[in-house]
């Protein structure tokens, strides 16, 4: 069996298509995507590609948002994004391959010493295939050329940031750093940068915003309200903050103590981190920090 066995499976499936093709995979490299498009006969007029893009994953080199440019040039292909995608599925009309292989050279066997991957053929009418397709239909956003260029620009900035993590763990549900604490002192900067508007942000500040966005790992293409809700859910997942909220005793002194106790931060660093969290809570959760006793963090209203 040749090293490119998985690619031959995909290529033969795509070449058999008559009407429609569906490519579902988290990681896609543009050279393999170009080869896939070339394998699809011109008689096929509907090509859907469902994938996912994140700044950290693109910076790590596991996926290329430039596939949006290739899709636009082809004229038949449409790229959509699902941030929670992990499944791999390749369909041509009623036939499909399901398994573990992404559309990358290492996964498909187009390089020496490829990954060990598996693809099995089934019918697109299979109940589990239909279940996955139905779930995907509930959470897709357009993978436009503009968004692709924005993700690439941010990934390039992130990759050249000296303070960014050198080892990027990608491709797993638990890939977000568990010890993340917000860095950006002004949370109002987050959404404009998330949308690619970086013109009025200095390079040092922008680097911190990008590190926060990479750690937050929020799906691209959200409106401002949905983005804020996602940020708030990440904030509430911070262990010390979560415990204090659950115990109904959220205040800055106790939060600083929790952060100091559960991290390697100095007491002064924990204090500054607590102040930053308070700013984020002010912005995303409409709380007020009131100088009463231990600087209480209250939700909804100020009181003395």
- According to CATH, the topology of domain 5-145 is Endonuclease; Chain A (3.30.870)
Backbone Cα Rg of the chain: 23
pLDDT digits (tens, 9 = 90+) for 69-118: 999 999 999 999 999 899 999 999 999 999 999 999 999 999 988 999 99
pLDDT digits (tens, 9 = 90+) for 193-252: 998 887 777 788 888 898 899 889 898 888 999 999 999 999 888 877 888 777 777 788
- Backbone φ/ψ region at 114: left (φ over 0), alpha (ψ -120 to 50), beta: beta
pLDDT digits (tens, 9 = 90+) for 156-171: 888 877 666 554 445 4
DSSP three-state, residue 159: helix
Question: Taking residues 119-140, what's their average pLDDT?
Answer: 94
Q: DSSP string spanning 188-203?
A: GGHHHHHTT--TTS-H
Measured between alpha carbons, how far is 105 from 103 in angstroms, rounded to an integer?
7
Count the neighbouring beta carbons within 10 Å of the beta carbon of residue 283.
17
Please state the domain extents for the chain: 5-145, 176-299
What's the pTM? 0.82
Count the neighbouring beta carbons within 10 Å of the beta carbon of residue 266.
10
């Amino acid at each position: 069996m040749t090293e490119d066995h998985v690619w031959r499976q995909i290529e033969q499936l795509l070449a058999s298509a008559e009407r429609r093709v569906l490519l579902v995979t988290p990681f896609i490299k543009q050279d393999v995507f170009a080869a896939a498009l070339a394998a699809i006969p011109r008689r096929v007029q509907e090509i859907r590609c469902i994938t996912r893009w994140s700044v950290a994953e693109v910076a790590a080199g596991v996926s290329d948002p430039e596939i949006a440019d290739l899709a636009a040039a082809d004229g038949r292909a449409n790229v959509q994004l699902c941030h929670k995608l992990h499944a791999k599925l390749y369909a041509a009309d009623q036939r499909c391959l399901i398994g573990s292989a992404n559309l990358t050279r290492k996964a498909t066997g187009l390089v020496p010493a490829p990954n060990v991957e598996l693809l099995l053929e089934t019918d697109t009418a299979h109940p589990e295939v239909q279940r996955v397709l139905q779930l995907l239909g509930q959470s897709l956003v357009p993978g436009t050329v503009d968004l692709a260029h924005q993700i690439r620009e941010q990934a390039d900035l992130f990759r050249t940031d000296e303070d960014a993590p050198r080892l990027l763990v990608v491709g797993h549900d638990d890939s977000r750093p568990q010890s993340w604490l917000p860095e950006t002192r002004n949370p109002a900067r987050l959404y404009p940068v998330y949308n690619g508007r970086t013109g009025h942000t200095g390079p040092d500040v922008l680097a911190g915003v990008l590190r926060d966005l990479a750690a937050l790992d929020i799906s691209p293409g959200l409106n401002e309200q949905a983005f804020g809700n996602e940020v708030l859910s990440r904030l509430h997942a911070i262990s010390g903050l979560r415990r204090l909220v659950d115990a109904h005793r959220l205040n800055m002194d106790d939060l600083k103590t929790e952060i100091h106790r559960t991290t390697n931060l100095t007491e002064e660093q924990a204090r500054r981190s607590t102040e930053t969290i308070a700013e984020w809570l002010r912005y995303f959760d409409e709380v007020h920090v009131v100088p009463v006793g231990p600087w209480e963090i209250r939700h909804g209203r100020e009181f003395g």
